[in-house]
């Protein structure tokens, strides 16, 4: 990548851009006059005839069209003088897309900051019951969260459903806010070597299925029960999980990656690693506060209160 940081590429872009514009001007000029071709007749044509009587006239392009083209060339040169476009040259006006973005952010903060600050001072459950805050939270969710959890918040393979009561780290609104602010990194370590043979892995998978009343082989379930001891450190002796670790409850029928025996065996054999990115630095606490209230309300519908 060091080749792309040398001064050569700056010069290369400048020369290529200017030659392209100058070349357009030279082409226009060359076509602005009548060119007498060798052997061309004196009747003002090139001598080319199609369909017996369709003759090609030897005339320059229309002047109005050419002047419009010249204007575009002048505009291009003026633009490249005022704005960035020639390598590392920043332009006379010093405009940057990042600078414009920052200006828009400051304007938005000035316009909407007081509204978000008002909600930040309120309890999350109170914010969840506010129709205006709920609408704002929904728009934030569709912008930043729907890519993984879906526009209906029902999740997908590897991405949790946010509309039910099943939470890996707990469904308290403050915990949800902590998750959004700081992110999560859920790890299920590979347990294949700890359990032993492939048959042991299959037996444990069937035992796990039996915990939730799912279809399983009763013989393999009994054999897998003793091996499940290796999993109790995270999932607990009752297999109901551990919210402190983000270890899921294995006694319900809610599966993040699927509830088939083959999928569970794959999880045991290879482990899983899920990352929920942190949005605290990007969105700021006030926006995360409103977003958290909305997400909590998806599984806890609240009676709305009138907007004051």
List the binding residues for heme c.
145, 148-149, 188, 231, 234-235, 276
CA atoms within 13 A on the CB side of 307: 9
Using CA atoms, how far residue 145 sits from 133, 183, 276, 279, in Å, is 17, 12, 10, 10
User: Which residues are known binding-site members?
Assistant: 145, 148-149, 188, 231, 234-235, 276
Q: How many whole angstroms separate alpha carbon 281 and alpha carbon 294?
A: 19
Q: How far is CA 58 from CA 35, 103, 224, in A?
A: 7, 55, 91
């Amino acid at each position: 990548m060091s080749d792309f940081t040398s001064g050569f590429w700056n010069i290369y872009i400048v020369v290529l851009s200017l030659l392209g514009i100058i070349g357009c001007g030279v082409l226009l000029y060359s076509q602005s006059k009548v060119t007498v071709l060798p052997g061309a007749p004196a009747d003002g044509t090139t001598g080319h005839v199609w369909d017996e009587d369709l003759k090609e006239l030897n005339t320059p392009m229309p002047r109005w069209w050419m002047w419009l083209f010249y204007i575009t060339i002048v505009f291009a040169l003026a633009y490249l003088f005022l704005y960035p476009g020639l390598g590392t040259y920043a332009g006379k006006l010093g405009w940057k897309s990042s600078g414009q973005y920052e200006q828009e952010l400051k304007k938005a903060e000035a316009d909407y900051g007081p509204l978000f600050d008002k909600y930040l001072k309120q309890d999350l459950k109170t914010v969840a019951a506010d129709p205006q805050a709920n609408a704002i939270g929904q728009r934030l969710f569709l912008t930043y969260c729907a890519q993984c959890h879906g526009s209906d918040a029902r999740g997908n393979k590897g991405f949790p459903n946010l509309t039910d009561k099943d939470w890996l780290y707990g469904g308290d609104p403050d915990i949800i806010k902590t998750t959004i602010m700081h992110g999560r990194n859920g790890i299920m370590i590979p347990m294949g070597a700890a359990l032993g043979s492939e048959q042991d892995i299959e037996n444990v998978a069937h035992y796990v299925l039996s915990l939730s009343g799912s279809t399983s082989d009763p013989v393999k379930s009994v054999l897998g029960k003793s091996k499940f001891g290796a999993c109790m450190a995270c999932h607990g002796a009752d297999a109901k999980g551990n919210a402190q670790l983000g270890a899921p409850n294995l006694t319900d029928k809610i599966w993040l990656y699927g509830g088939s025996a083959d999928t569970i065996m794959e999880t045991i054999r290879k482990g899983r690693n899920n990352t929920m990115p942190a949005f605290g630095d990007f969105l700021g606490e006030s926006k995360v506060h409103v977003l958290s209230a909305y997400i909590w309300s998806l599984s806890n519908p609240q009676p709305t209160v009138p907007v004051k």
